[in-house]
Structure 1
Amino acid sequence: MTVAVTGATGQLGRLTIARLKSLLPAGGIVALARNPGKAADLGVEARAFDYDRPETLAAALPGVERLLLISSSELGKRAGQHRAVIEAAKAAGVGQIVYTSLLHADRSPLSLAEEHVATEAMLAESGIPYAVLRNGWYAENYTGAIPAALAHGALIGAAGEGRISAAARADYAEAAALVLAGEGHLGKAYELAGDEGWTLAGLAAELSAQSGRAIPYRDLSQADYAAALTGAGLPEGLAAAIASWDAGAAQGALFDDSRTLSRLIGRPTATLAEVVAEVVAEAVRDAL
C-alpha cells in the first residue's frame, strides 16, 4: 500500500509522516510538497505538488492508493485548491481520500467553515471513498501567544468564558496517520477535539503557575482584539479573522466533549498543563 500526504512539509504534515513511519514501511509513504527539497529530511519519497498548478497534480499521484488531503493554509483559496487535488486524485485512480476539516464544520459559525463544507461536498460528489477528520483547534494556536504574554505580562483575547477543547497538533497528526493507514473509517466524519475544555483565563492561570509570574487574562472586544493584533504586526484581514474566531469560541464554537479523538488514538489527549510546559520550557531555553 502506498499512501501520500499533501502539505507534507507543514507542521501537521511532518508530524503525520513521522507517525506513519511507525505504522507503514517508509517506502510506501510519499510526501507531497510545493518544494520537495524541503522534505528531504522526512526519510520518504518526496514529489512536487503545488496546489496552484492544478494541471501538474495528477502526475504526482501514480501508484498512490490512499491520500491525506491536509487543508490548504491559504484562506479564501482553499475551495479551488482542494477541488484541484480531488480532481487530480480521481484522474490518477487514488482509492481513498482522508481530509482534515473543521470541528462541527456543518454547523460551525466560524468563517473557516465555509470552505471546509464546500470541500466535504466535493468529496461526496467525487465518487472516491473518503473519511473526514473534523479537527478542533490546535492548542498551539493559543500557546503560540505565550512568549508575547510573558513579555507583556498579560494574555489577551476575545473568547470570554468560552471553553476551548484544543488538542496538541501531534494528537491530530496521530489520528490522521491511524485513519490513513487503518481500516473501517471510510464514510465517517470524526469530530476531533481535546479531552478537556479550557478557557483563556484557565490558560493564563496555568501559565502563571508554571512561570511563577502573575499573567492575567485580559478579555477584549472583538474589535479591540483585532486592533491589538494589527498593532502587533498582523495584516488587518488576518487580525480580523483571528478575532472573529475568538468571538466564535466565546459562543462555544471550539468546544466538544465527545472524546472521539482520544478514543481514536487510544490514549488521552495532551493536557493543558503539558502543552503549556513545553512552551514555557522552550521560552526558558531561548532566554538562556
Structure 2
Amino acid sequence: SRSTMPLVTRNIEPRHLCRQTLPSVRSELECMTNITLANVIRQLGSLSKFAEDIFGELFTQANTFASRVSVLVERVDRLQVKVTQLDPKEEEVSLQGINTRKAFKSSTTQDQKLFDRDSLPVPVLETYRTCNTPPPLNILSPYRDDGKEALKFYTDPSYFFDLWKEKMLQDTKDIMKEKRKHRKEKKENPNRGNVNPRKIKTRKEEWEKLKMGQEFVESKDKHGPAGYPSNMVYQNGSIGSNESMDMNCYPPPPQTDSIVPPPPSFPDDSLPPPPLEF
C-alpha cells in the first residue's frame, strides 16, 4: 500500500506531562505532582478549545446544508403547484411550439478556489503560521546563470502542480502518437478490416430453390455444387480431393486373372463390298 503523509490539524498541548526540569526545591515529589496537575488542566483547556472548534465547523456545515435543503423544498413546491395546474386536455402544445421553446439551463454556480489560503480551516491556518519562514535565498537569484529561482531549490510550492501538468502533457502526447500510428496503418492497409462475411441463407433463397421443383432441389443438394458428389463438398463450400473420398463410391478395378473375352468375329458375307474402281 502507498504510504501517505498524515496531516495533523489539531495538536493537544502539552503532549508530555512530566518531562520538565525540576527547580531546586525541598520537596521534589510535591513539585512534580503540581506540575503534572497543571499540565493536565492545560490539556483539558486545549481539548475544550478544539472541541468548540469542531462543533463550530459542524454547525456551519449543518447550517449550509439546511439552507440548501430549504431552497430545494421551495423549488419542489413551486414545481408541484405548476404540475397540478397543467391539464393536457385543455392545453395542447404543438410540435412547433415545443421546438420554439428555450431549453432548460441550470443556474447553479460551481464552487471555485476551494484550496485557497482563505479557505483553510482555522487549526491548519494556525499550524501554518507557527512554521518558520524560509531563508532569504531569493537574493542569490540574480547571480545564477540558468535563470532559476534559488528559493525553489529549498522549497517549491508549485512542484506537485508542475509534476501533474507534465504527466498530463505526456499522456496527451502518447494518445496523439497512438492515433497517428493507427491512422498511418489504416492508410497503408485500407482493406485490413474488410473480411468477406459468410453468406447468410434467407427464406427468399429457399423459396427461389423450390420454385423450379422439389426434385431439382434434392438432386442439387445430393450432387453438391458444380455436379460434385456431396461427400466431396465441405460445409465451407470447398471441394475435397480424390484421396479424401470414400473408395466405395468407385467401381472395383478389373482383376488380372479374369479372362478377357475375344473380340467379336464377323462373317465374310457381312463385310461391305470394296469400292468400285473408276
TM-score (norm 1): 0.14
Higher relative contact order (CA 8 A, sep 6+): 1
Name the structure where helix makes up a greater proportion of residues: 2
Name the structure where strand makes up a greater proportion of residues: 1
Whose Rg is larger? 2
